[in-house]
Amino acid sequence: MPRILAPFLQSVTYARWLHLLIGTVFAGVVLVVYPGIEGGSPVHTLTAAAVVDTVLLCLAALIPATRRAEGVQARLLLVPAREESIGAAPSASWADRWRTACWLVARVGLGTAVGLVSVRGAMLAVDLAREPLAGARPLLAPVVLLVIGWSVVLVGRLQLRLAQGLLGPSRAERLAAAELRAERLLERNRLARELHDSIGHALTVTVLQAGAAREVADPAFRDRALEVIESTGRQAMEDLERTLVLLRESPDGAAVERPGLDQVPALLATARAAGSPVEDTIEARAEHLPGVLSREAYRIVQESVTNALKYAPGVPIRVVARIAGGALELHCANGVPGEPRRRPGGKGLRGIRERAVLLGGEASTGMDGSDWVVRVRLPLRLAA
C-alpha cells in the first residue's frame, strides 16, 4: 500500500475530520441566522459572519466550563499521543480564557476552511467523473479526492498542535508540574535510601548472628544471638512502619519520629553483639543539632557500620561524631582483612554522598592505610 494512502486507513484521520466539521457546523449556523445574509456580496457576508463568529466565540470563552468541554472533545477526537498534553479543566484565570478564545476562533476558522474544501472538492470530483471517458478529465477526480483527504490530514495535525498549545498547560503550569515531579522523585529517592539503610543493616546483623549461632555449640551464645536477631528484627519493623507512614501521607499530618544521633549508641550495640569490637567517640549531642542533621547523621553512621559488618565481619570499628569549625564531622573506620581491595560503590555509599550533598556538606570514602574510612562533614548553618 503506497504511503500516500496510509493515513486514510487510520481511524484518527476521520476522528479529526469530524472534529473539524463540528467547527464548520457552528459557522454554518451563524451564516443562516445572520440578518445580512441576503442582498449582500459573498465577501461582505463572509466578513460579517467572521466578525459575528469571533464575538460569539470570545463570549463563550468567558465561561469556565467551555475550556473543559473543548479539552474533552480534543482529547477524544484529535487523539493526542499523551492525553495530558491537552487539559480538561475549566478556565482558572484570564490567561486561560484568552487562550480558549484563540482556540475557538482557530478551530472554527480551520473547520470552515476544511468544510468548504471538502464540499467544493467533492462537487468538483463528481463533475469530473461525469465527463466523457474519452477525455483525461475523469482521471482527475481521484486526484481531487486525494487533495481533499490530505488537506484533512494536514489541517488535523495542525489543529492537534494548536490544541496542545492553547488547551494544554501553560509554561508556568508545565514548570510547576516539572518541579512537583522533581520533588516527588527526590522524596522517593530519600525513602529508598531510608529502606536500604535500615533494612540492610537489620539483615546484615541477622545473617551474621544466625551464621555464628549455627557454628558455635555454646547454648548461651545461641540465646544471645537469638535475642539480637529478635531485637534487630523489631527495630527493622519499626523502621519499615515509619517509612510506610511517610508513603501513606496520613491526613492528620502527624509527625513521624525518625531515629537521630541519640540512637547511635543502640546501633553500635547491635554491631558489638554481631561480634565486631566498636570504639566510639560521640561528642556531638542530638539536642544541639538541627533535626534533619541529626537524622541524616544517624543514617550515615548506620550505613558505614553496616558496610563494616558486611565486608569485614569481626574487625574493630571506630566511630567518631563531633562538632568542629561550625560543622558536624563524622568519621567511621574499620580494618580490612587480607589484601586491601576496592570496595564496590553501591547504593549505600552513593546514598552517603547524596545525603551529604543535600545538606551542603561533603563526603569521602576510601582506603587510608590498612583501614576503610568514611569521612563526612555537614555544616550546621546550612542545615539549620
- What pLDDT, on a 0 to 100 scale, did the predictor assign at position 40? 61
pLDDT in tens, 57-104: 999 999 999 999 999 999 999 988 888 889 888 888 898 899 999 999
142 pLDDT exceeds 70?
yes
> Which of the four pLDDT bands, split at 50, 70 and 90, describes residue 51?
confident
332 pLDDT exceeds 90?
yes
> Which of the four pLDDT bands, split at 50, 70 and 90, describes residue 384?
very low
- Kindly give the interhelix angle for 42-61 and 11-33, rounded to the nearest 10 degrees: 110
| Highest mean predicted confidence (pLDDT) among 21-25, 257-261, 271-275, 378-382 | 21-25
> Which of the four pLDDT bands, split at 50, 70 and 90, describes residue 316?
very high
Strand order across the beta sheet in which 317-324 lies: 278-282, 317-324, 327-335, 371-379, 362-368
Higher pLDDT, 45 or 89: 89
252 pLDDT exceeds 70?
no
148 pLDDT exceeds 80?
yes
User: Residue 354: left if φ>0, alpha if ψ -120 to 50, beta else—which one?
Assistant: alpha
Q: Which three cell numbers stand for residue 361?
A: 556538606
C-alpha to C-alpha distance for 199 and 161, rounded to whole angstroms? 49
Instruction: Say which amino acid occupies 334.
Output: N
Please, are residues 279 and 317 in contact by the beta-carbon 8 Å criterion? yes
Judging by DSSP bridges, how do beta strands 371-379 and 362-368 pair with one another?
A: antiparallel
Please, are residues 311 and 273 in contact by the beta-carbon 8 Å criterion? no
- Kindly give the interhelix angle for 64-77 and 42-61, rounded to the nearest 10 degrees: 110
Q: Which three cell numbers stand for residue 376?
A: 563526612
261 pLDDT exceeds 70?
yes
- What pLDDT, on a 0 to 100 scale, did the predictor assign at position 170? 74
Higher pLDDT, 285 or 43: 285
- What pLDDT, on a 0 to 100 scale, did the predictor assign at position 251? 45
Higher pLDDT, 200 or 247: 200
pLDDT in tens, 185-213: 776 777 777 777 777 777 777 777 777 67
- What pLDDT, on a 0 to 100 scale, did the predictor assign at position 143? 87
> Which of the four pLDDT bands, split at 50, 70 and 90, describes residue 160?
very high
Extract long-range pairs of 241-247: CB within 8 Å, 24+ residues apart.
242/194, 243/191, 243/194, 243/195, 243/198, 246/191, 246/194, 247/191
- What pLDDT, on a 0 to 100 scale, did the predictor assign at position 291? 84
Q: Which of 37-41, 290-294, 300-304, 358-362 has the lowest mean pLDDT?
A: 37-41
> With pLDDT > 90 as the criterion, what percentage of the chain qualifies?
24
Q: Which three cell numbers stand for residue 278?
A: 566498636
Mean pLDDT of 221-239: 72
Mean pLDDT of 93-122: 90
Instruction: Say which amino acid occupies 81.
Output: A
175 pLDDT exceeds 50?
yes
> Which of the four pLDDT bands, split at 50, 70 and 90, describes residue 374?
very high
Q: Which of 376, 276, 279 is nearest to 322 (CA)?
A: 376
341 pLDDT exceeds 70?
no
Convert the chain into a string of H (helix), E (strand) and C (coil). Answer: CCHHHHHHHCHHHHHHHHHHHHHHHHHHHHHHHCHHHCCCCHHHHHHHHHHHHHHHHHHHHCCHHHHHHHHHHHHHHCCCCCHHHCCCCCCCCHHHHHHHHHHHHHHHHHHHHHHHHHHHHHHHHHHHHCCCCCCCHHHHHHHHHHHHHHHHHHHHHHHHHHHHHHCCCCHHHHHHHHHHHHHHHHHHHHHHHHHHHHHHHHHHHHHHHHHHHHHCCCHHHHHHHHHHHHHHHHHHHHHHHHHHHHHHCCCCCCCCCCCCHHHHHHHHHHHHHCCCCEEEEECCCHHHCCHHHHHHHHHHHHHHHHHHHHHCCCCCEEEEEEEECCEEEEEEEEECCCCCCCCCCCHHHHHHHHHHHHCCCEEEEEEECCEEEEEEEEEHHHHC
Whole-structure pTM value: 0.51
> With pLDDT > 70 as the criterion, what percentage of the chain qualifies?
82
> Which of the four pLDDT bands, split at 50, 70 and 90, describes residue 134?
low
Higher pLDDT, 348 or 55: 55
Q: Quote the mean pLDDT of the chain.
A: 81
User: Residue 314: left if φ>0, alpha if ψ -120 to 50, beta else—which one?
Assistant: left
Mean pLDDT of 28-39: 63
Mean pLDDT of 30-46: 63
Give all domains of the chain, ordered by start, each with its CATH number.
3-169 (no CATH), 175-383 (3.30.565.10)
User: Cα angle at 46 between 42 and 52, to 5 degrees?
Assistant: 145
42 pLDDT exceeds 70?
no
256 pLDDT exceeds 60?
no
